[in-house]
Structures are given as structure tokens and as C-alpha cells.
Amino acid sequence: MPTYVAFLRAINLGPSRKFPKDDIRRAVEAIGFTDVETHINTGNVRFSTPMRSRAKIDAALETAFAADRGFDVPTIVFTPAELVEIARDAERLSADRPDLERHYVYLLKDELPADTIARIEALTTEAGGMVVRGRAAHALLGPGYQTGTVDPLGAAKLLGVATNRNANVVTTLARKWA
């Protein structure tokens, strides 16, 4: 049975969007997915399902999460092989930039058009720059990056439905769940 990894967006932010990992696991199991495992409390979940359509898996999870929580939880699904490739890209990009202060990976629901990718990659400042690879956009933040700045490059609005994780979380999950 195929295995997938899902990343939940905008949960556990403030008092009204709580979704603890045990509740995520329960909601995923309730729709018949098996071998469910979560990692830390930021909305990372691995599961198996006979479903093969990413769009149908996204929809099933989002429907279950909304029913369970009472608010929408955008969900971005990858195969383990896709996650491994994103992690490899993250490792290569970090190795090429030893001056990085932070490396965040925005995980995208959909691939972006070429003109949007060009706009995102042109958003280079003293804080850093962006590199888009498939359904992942890497924010490579150097010494000019101010800790606590949510979107220092102004790229988030161009990414569509996305959620971000520290590159270390992405590489850890790729090793753990691939």
C-alpha cells in the first residue's frame, strides 16, 4: 500500500487553531488511513492509503480535519521519494551557502508557473534569496536576516497554498520516513 507524507498549514498558531499531533493521528486513522505516525507538533504526518491521487488524498484529509477541528487545515501531500528529493535539494543548497543563518523550505500544494518562479527567485535582498525546485521553495537567509521576521523576502504571497519547515525538519523527516 502506498505511503505518503502530509504537511498541515497554519495549525497550533494562537489559541484558536490548536491541533495536537495525537488528534491529527486520530483524524487520519478515522478516515481509514493506516500506519499513521506524526513528528513534533507542527503538523507533519505519515500514513498509508490505497488511494493514489494526491488531489483526492488532500481532499480527504482536509475534509476530515475541518470536521474534527471546525476550521480549514490546508494540507500538502508528498510521496516519500518526493520528500527525499526536496531534502537532497535542501542539503545541496545549504552546502553551497555556508554563510546561511536560516534555511526554510516552503512546501507547495501545486507547482508554480515559470513567470512566478522567476519573480520569486528575483526577490534577493541582503537578507537572502529564494530558489524554487518543483513543489518546494527554499528561503536561503544569510547574515542580513532578522530573527523573528516572518517573510523577510516578501515571497509568501506568490507561493499559493504553502507551509514552511526548517530545512533540518525536512531532512530529518526524509531520513525517518523514506
Average pLDDT over residues 53-73: 96
Q: Which among 55, 76, 42 has a CA at the least distance from the CA of 160? A: 76
Rounded distance between C-alpha atoms, residue 24 and residue 7, angstroms: 11
Whether the per-residue pLDDT at 21 is higher than 80: the answer is yes
**Identity at 135, one-letter amino acid code:** R
Q: Is the dihedral of CA 163, 161, 2, 21 positive or negative?
A: positive
64-100 confidence digits (pLDDT tens): 999 999 999 999 999 999 999 999 999 999 999 998 9
Rounded distance between C-alpha atoms, residue 97 and residue 122, angstroms: 17
Rounded distance between C-alpha atoms, residue 143 and residue 141, angstroms: 7
Rounded distance between C-alpha atoms, residue 31 and residue 172, angstroms: 27
Predicted local confidence at residue 129, as pLDDT: 95
Is the pTM value of this prediction over 0.85? yes
Q: How far apart are the first and last CA of the chain?
A: 14
